């Protein structure tokens, strides 16, 4: 059942992301992001952890772009790589004996923060965040309808 929900979430998320991109001209942080965020809407600390990692990644990308030409594939790959490294590092952090993993504040996946950071750079923070929230909520609603409220 869990695999079916994940597959449906990603599939519906891709469709919703494409519709948003074509009709509204706004991306929801990458084509797979709404599906993954929708799966974690009941885990606000994990969404917050993903947002923090995305913001740190975005900051690093902006800093690096002052010293080198970053655009297109280069920026995308660097965003995903930095997001991956920060997400992995955050899982290893310990604060007074309590890990990020125990707090459930770790990032969602390894590439999601990098994808979101890349879209922060391309279309801005507020446009990206609002599109992610709306698209993920819509995906979650559709999942609830399809699976009878059990997501």
pLDDT one-digit tens code per residue, 133-151: 999 999 999 999 998 877 7
Look at residue 151 and tell me if it is in a domain. no
pLDDT for res 143: 94
Report the 10 Å Cβ neighbour count for 128.
25
Look at residue 22 and tell me if it is in a domain. yes
* Comparison of pLDDT for 7 and 106, the residue scoring more: 7
pLDDT for res 96: 58
pLDDT per residue as tens digits for the range 108-128: 888 999 999 999 999 999 999
pTM as predicted: 0.88
- For 26-138, strand residue ranges (E) read 94-95, 98-99
Look at residue 29 and tell me if it is in a domain. yes
pLDDT for res 1: 60
Give the chain's length.
Answer: 151
Question: For residues 5 and 138, what is the distance between their CA atoms, to the nearest angstrom?
Answer: 15
pLDDT for res 118: 94
Q: What is the tally of structural domains in the chain?
A: 1
Look at residue 81 and tell me if it is in a domain. yes
Kindly report the average pLDDT of the chain as a whole number: 89
Look at residue 27 and tell me if it is in a domain. yes
Supply the range of the domain harboring residue 29: 2-146
């Amino acid at each position: 059942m869990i695999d079916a929900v994940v597959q449906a979430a990603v599939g519906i998320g891709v469709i919703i992301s494409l519709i948003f991109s074509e009709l509204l001209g706004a991306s929801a942080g990458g084509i797979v992001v709404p599906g993954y965020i929708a799966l974690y809407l009941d885990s606000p600390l994990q969404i917050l952890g993903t947002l923090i990692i995305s913001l740190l990644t975005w900051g690093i990308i902006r800093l690096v772009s002052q010293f080198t030409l970053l655009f297109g594939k280069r920026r995308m790959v660097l965003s995903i790589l930095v997001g991956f490294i920060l997400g992995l590092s955050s899982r290893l952090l310990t604060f007074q004996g309590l890990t990020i993993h125990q707090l459930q504040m770790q990032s969602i996946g390894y590439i999601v923060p990098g994808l979101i950071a890349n879209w922060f750079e391309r279309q801005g923070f507020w446009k990206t965040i609002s599109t992610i929230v709306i698209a993920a909520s819509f995906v979650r609603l559709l999942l609830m309808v399809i699976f009878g409220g059990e997501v």
